[in-house]
Amino acid sequence: IPKITCDLGREIHFVKMPNFLSVETRPFDPDNYEDEIDEEETLDEEGRARLKLKVENTIRWRETFDREGNVVKESNARFIRWSDGSMSLHLGSEVFDVYKQPLQGDHNHLF
């Protein structure tokens, strides 16, 4: 069984995402990237706009190498903590406000 190590940082966060944002759990690989539609399927203007929004609103990551040859992770999303303590999520050219609050009670379950 492979040993998986990961650094969760000092805090664990429970994230409630809007339904129009999604997270790709597998690393991005341009050679194996699969479009959301079949090649034979043609989309009308509304379908193309919907597909474009889905592609733009998906958080992706990949592994690449730095100048020294070390493996580093890259993402198309960034969390920014501003000088006033507020936070925002930057995904491509979109910016979303992030609100942080403590979890209430012991009634939260992650699946």
Q: Residues 65, 79: contact at Cβ < 8 Å?
A: no
Distance CA 88, CA 80 (A): 5
73 φ/ψ angles, rounded to the nearest 5 degrees: -100, 135
The pLDDT value recorded for residue 13 is 64
At residue 37, the pLDDT reads 54
Note the pLDDT of residue 3.
65
Amino acid at 5: T
In the chain, % of residues over pLDDT 70:
68
Segments of the chain with pLDDT less than 70: 1-14, 33-42, 103-111
> What is the pLDDT at residue 36?
58
Secondary structure class of 19 (helix, strand, coil): coil
